[in-house]
């Protein structure tokens, strides 16, 4: 009997125990991975006779389920990481490369290689003082980092295929950049000397391409997507500036006392600097001294450019950023739904044609969350199964991203931790719990903080008016502790102890505000001992005023501001890293162009700025604003970002190097202006989002956390602890009785991310998004019985295989095999 022959599996003996991990269900649809594996298995067993047909059937089924679990996991990860399905493995041979490329160790090596390339700027010429190394060392380290990144590209080519690889713009750019850097590194080693290498400024692109910087990559993508309207408004701003520069040239070029409008380029440059207000009112005074009416020119210019266009600039960026943020949430939600649909089709079986059984969900979680415990898997399934049907429908499976990361903990029926204490202690702890939750207790704490503020303010005033500051290291009034320091610090410690006992350690240490209060209390305690040794603990002494930040909890508006900061912590980190990479880019270019210039006494022939670069005057420290190494360059660029007297730095390099160096400083200002405007829009959008979320959802205390509660019966806990996951059944969920005293209670909790908060806020629009995204799907008929779930488009993994019949006893692996089985059924029915 050939391996392709059809037979009735219902007549077979019950599968042996060794195959129970795949269940009795047959695979409806096999993906590329399972199809490839089945073909290999068929080649291995084919032609050995009827005695192996039973083993072959169940071995194929087991192999397909394991492969389907793995492929479904890949789909879910692609949806979670917002990766395109074009890069999905097309066969089993591509899976090893995919798994290597997505292994945490590989991600760590990738980011370490990128950081290695970035850190070379510290030891390359111009290097930081006392850190410069021989050329062959940093060139060899560069080749090492490039080699690791090249291996990363080779693995991606092996998994994605050359065609997909070449159509991916970011990967192709990375490949070209690696080729250029390899040739440059080899040139440096051969010549044993450095040369002009601006391409070093592009090293941040490698870091952006790493797995752990995907949030930074998304932020940069949003910035680039915001550029079209920004560039249009920027062009309008510069055009109006050019018109005013022409007008200023004709009005003030004849003034011998003014050096700002002598030529048209100088006129444009002066008005460009005036946009930053760095040279105001100096630029106006010569013309104003000649005619007071000339002030009207500058007033009109500043009003139009600074107060109108710059605020309009922020409004446009905010509107664009908000639209992109909503569009990003929409696309990510739809992308994750598609990923769930692809995974769902790989997890349904002949027995559960329109739903995922518990054992199949457990098999998926072995790959999707390999570190999850059995009880966590079961609780997650139960949280997803809101219908209590014992199996997951597609609508329930859509929620897998929000519920799989819940941290489950067993709780008692009461939220109080002291229920198991003896009667006297339990009553005492209950009273203490009521006391620390009493609103007047909080008001009293705020009153004490206000009193502490008055004392600290009084100490600061006394210290500032004394002959010598009492808090300067090396000066003490005797090793004595002030009574008010002991009193306030003791009160804060007592408050923390009362809350820990009243609320319970778990509840106390999982609350962000309590941790903040505890941190302030610890600083206060260290500062208290700092009064004994001001020389060693001076830093903690000056940090004591930060305890007053606690008073901002008293006002809801202040809590919203600080709450926005907590919500944006991850995204603000992406923003900070983006700014640092931007600084790195300009710092490398600045070092390549200006590191050889000594700015000390560089501008003796220019009376306007000569005093700023002379060490003989009180203001002559500007020679320190140079590009001698990567860290000093960063400080110089930050000063340019602040824009106070930034034009003095620009003019110094224009005089000592070349006038074209102004292009570097002016473009840096424009780029940072755009980025900082996006930053302001980003923070504004986040704050407005938090306020809007509160108003729309009417949520207050639970806004930051997603909480689920579940109850397990004794039978369920027995099944979890004593039965293999492959033998789990959803019957206990479907037939569950009302809660009993012996039931176990569990609480699942996790911190909500921005995406989850956004989906909750836009929940009224989600259905409209789904309806808009739906497109007509050609009807595909594969058998007389059709599944209830019909995907909108053929899956990526099914390019080689058509839909398999769900009515066949043995799942098909190819369209040819399916046609053979259908024809045999027809022949059998005729006979």
Least confident of 92-96, 238-242, 523-527, 659-663: 523-527
Structural tokens at position 710: 């579940």
**pLDDT-wise least confident of 316-330, 477-491, 737-751, 797-811:** 797-811
What token pair was written down for 186?
Answer: 């080899």
Q: Is the pLDDT of residue 346 over 80?
A: yes
Report cis status (omega within 30 of 0) of the bond before 126. yes
Structure tokens at 732: 């206990």
Long-range CB contacts for residues 159-168, cutoff 8 Å, separation at least 24: 159/87, 159/89, 159/94, 159/97, 159/98, 159/101, 160/87, 161/90, 161/94, 164/86, 164/87, 168/87
Q: Which two tokens stand for residue 222?
A: 């949003």
Provide the token pair at 80: 């979670």
Q: Give residue 792's region: left, alpha or beta (phi > 0; psi -120 to 50).
A: alpha
In whole angstroms, what is the distance from residue 485 CA to residue 261 CA?
61
For residues 679 and 711, is the Cβ–Cβ distance under 8 A?
no
Q: How far apart are CA 180 and CA 159, in angstroms?
A: 24
CA dihedral 47, 48, 49, 50 (to 10 degrees): -120
Of 22, 129, 10, 135, nearest to 810 by C-alpha is: 10
- Rounded to an integer, what distance in angstroms lies between the CA atom of residue 808 and that of residue 7? 10
CA-nearest of 686, 671, 770 to 321 is 686
Which residues make beta-bridge pairs with 746? 410, 710
**Per-residue pLDDT band at 82 (split at 50, 70, 90):** confident
Two structure tokens written together for 628: 């001698």
| Helices and strands (H, E) in the chain, number of each type | 34, 5
pTM of the model: 0.75
Confidence of residue 128 (pLDDT cuts 50, 70, 90): confident
Tens of pLDDT, residue by residue over 371-394, are 889 999 999 999 999 888 889 999
Q: In the prediction, which pLDDT does 339 show?
A: 93
- Token duo for residue 799: 């390019």
441 band by pLDDT with thresholds 50, 70 and 90: confident
How confident is the model at residue 531, as a pLDDT? 57
Most confident of the ranges 565-579, 664-678, 745-759, 816-830: 664-678
Question: Which residues, 6+ apart, have CB-to-CB distance to 136 below 8 Å?
Answer: 189, 192
| pLDDT for res 581 | 93
pLDDT at 630: 92
Contacts of 102 (CB under 8 A, 6+ apart): 77, 211
8 Å CB contact between 339 and 78: yes
Q: Dihedral of the CA atoms 776, 778, 784, 787 (nearest 10)?
A: -40
Q: What's the pLDDT score for residue 46?
A: 47
Which whole number is the average pLDDT over 304-329? 86
Task: Tell me the Ramachandran region of residue 780: left when phi exceeds 0, alpha when psi lies from -120 to 50, beta otherwise.
Answer: beta
What is the spatial distance between Cα 270 and Cα 613, in angstroms, rounded to a whole number? 21
Instruction: Write out pLDDT tens, residues 619-648.
Output: 678 888 899 899 999 999 999 998 888 888
CA 521 to CA 524: how far, in whole Å? 5
* 553, 539 Cβ separation under 8 angstroms: no
H helices of 211-350, where?
Answer: 214-225, 227-252, 264-275, 285-290, 295-302, 310-347
Q: What's CA 408's distance to the chain center, in Å?
A: 24
Q: What mean pLDDT value characterizes the chain?
A: 77
């Amino acid at each position: 009997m050939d391996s392709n022959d059809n037979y009735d599996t219902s007549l077979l003996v019950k599968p042996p125990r060794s195959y129970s991990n795949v269940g009795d269900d047959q695979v409806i649809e096999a993906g590329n991975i399972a199809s490839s594996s089945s073909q290999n298995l068929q080649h291995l067993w084919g032609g050995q006779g009827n005695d192996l047909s039973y083993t072959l059937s169940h071995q194929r089924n087991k192999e397909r389920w394991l492969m389907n679990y793995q492929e479904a996991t890949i789909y879910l990860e692609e949806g979670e990481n917002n990766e395109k399905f074009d890069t999905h493995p097309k066969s089993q041979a591509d899976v090893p490369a995919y798994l290597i490329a997505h292994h945490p160790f590989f991600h760590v090596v990738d980011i370490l290689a990128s950081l290695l390339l970035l850190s070379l700027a510290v030891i390359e010429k111009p290097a930081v003082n006392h850190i410069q190394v021989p050329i062959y060392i940093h060139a060899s380290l560069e080749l090492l980092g490039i080699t690791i990144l090249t291996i990363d590209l080779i693995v991606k080519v092996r998994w994605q295929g050359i065609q997909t690889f070449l159509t991916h713009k970011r990967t192709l750019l990375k490949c070209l950049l690696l080729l250029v850097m390899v040739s440059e590194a080899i040139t440096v080693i051969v010549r044993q000397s450095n040369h002009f290498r601006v391409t070093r400024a592009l090293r941040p692109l490698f870091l952006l391409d790493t797995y752990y910087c995907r949030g930074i990559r998304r932020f940069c993508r949003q910035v680039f997507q915001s550029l079209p309207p920004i560039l249009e408004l920027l062009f309008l701003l510069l055009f109006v500036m050019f018109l005013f520069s022409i007008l200023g040239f004709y009005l003030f070029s004849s003034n011998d006392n003014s050096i700002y409008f002598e030529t048209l380029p100088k006129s444009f440059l002066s008005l460009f600097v005036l946009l930053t207000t760095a040279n105001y009112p100096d630029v106006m005074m010569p013309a104003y001294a000649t005619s007071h009416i000339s002030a009207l020119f500058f007033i009109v210019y500043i009003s139009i450019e600074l107060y109108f266009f710059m605020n309009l600039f922020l409004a446009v960026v905010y509107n664009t950023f908000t639209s992109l943020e909503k569009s990003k949430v929409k696309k990510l939600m739809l992308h994750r739904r598609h990923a769930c649909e692809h995974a769902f089709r790989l997890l349904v079986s002949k027995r559960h044609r329109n739903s995922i059984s518990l054992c199949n969900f457990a098999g998926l979680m072995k790959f999707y969350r390999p570190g999850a415990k059995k009880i966590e898997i079961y609780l997650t399934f139960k949280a997803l199964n809101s219908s209590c049907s014992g199996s997951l429908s597609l609508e329930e499976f859509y929620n897998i991203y929000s519920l799989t990361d819940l941290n489950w903990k067993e709780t008692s029926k009461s939220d109080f931790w002291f229920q198991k204490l003896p009667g006297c202690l339990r009553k005492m702890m209950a009273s203490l719990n009521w006391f620390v939750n009493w609103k007047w207790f909080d008001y009293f704490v705020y009153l004490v903080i206000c009193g502490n503020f008055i004392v600290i303010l009084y100490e600061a005033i006394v210290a500032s008016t004394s002959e010598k500051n009492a808090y300067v290291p090396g000066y003490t009034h005797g090793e004595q502790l002030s009574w008010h320091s002991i009193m306030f610090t003791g009160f804060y410690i007592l408050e923390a102890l009362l809350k820990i006992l009243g609320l319970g350690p778990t509840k106390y240490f999982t609350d962000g505000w309590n941790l903040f209060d505890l941190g302030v209390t610890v600083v206060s305690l260290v500062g208290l001992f700092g009064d004994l040794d001001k020389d060693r603990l001076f830093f903690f002494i000056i940090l004591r005023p930060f305890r007053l930040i606690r008073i901002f909890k008293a006002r809801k508006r202040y809590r919203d501001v600080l709450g926005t900061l907590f919500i944006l912590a991850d995204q603000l980190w992406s923003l900070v890293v983006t700014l640092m990479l931007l600084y790195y880019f300009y710092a490398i270019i600045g070092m390549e162009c200006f590191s050889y210039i000594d700015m000390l006494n560089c501008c003796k022939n220019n009376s306007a700025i000569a005093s700023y670069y002379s060490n003989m005057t009180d203001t002559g420290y500007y020679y320190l604003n140079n590009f001698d190494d990567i860290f000093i360059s960063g400080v110089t660029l930050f000063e340019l970002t602040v824009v106070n007297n930034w034009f003095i730095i620009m003019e110094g390099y224009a005089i000592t190097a070349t006038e074209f160096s102004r292009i570097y400083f002016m473009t840096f200002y424009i780029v940072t202006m755009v980025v900082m405007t996006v930053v302001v829009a980003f923070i504004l959008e986040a704050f407005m989002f938090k306020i809007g979320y509160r108003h729309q959802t009417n949520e207050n205390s639970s806004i930051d956390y997603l909480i689920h509660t579940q109850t397990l019966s004794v039978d369920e806990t027995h099944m979890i602890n004593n039965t293999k996951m492959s033998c789990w059944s959803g019957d206990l969920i479907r037939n569950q009785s009302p809660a009993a005293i012996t039931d176990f209670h569990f609480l699942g909790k996790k911190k909500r991310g921005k995406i989850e908060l956004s989906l909750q806020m836009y929940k009224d629009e989600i259905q409209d998004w789904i309806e808009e995204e739906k497109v007509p799907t050609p009807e595909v008929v594969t058998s007389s019985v059709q599944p209830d779930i019909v995907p909108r488009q053929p899956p990526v993994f099914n390019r080689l295989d058509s839909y398999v019949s769900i009515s066949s006893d043995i799942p098909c692996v190819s369209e040819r095999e399916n046609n053979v089985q259908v024809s045999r059924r027809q022949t059998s029915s005729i006979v």
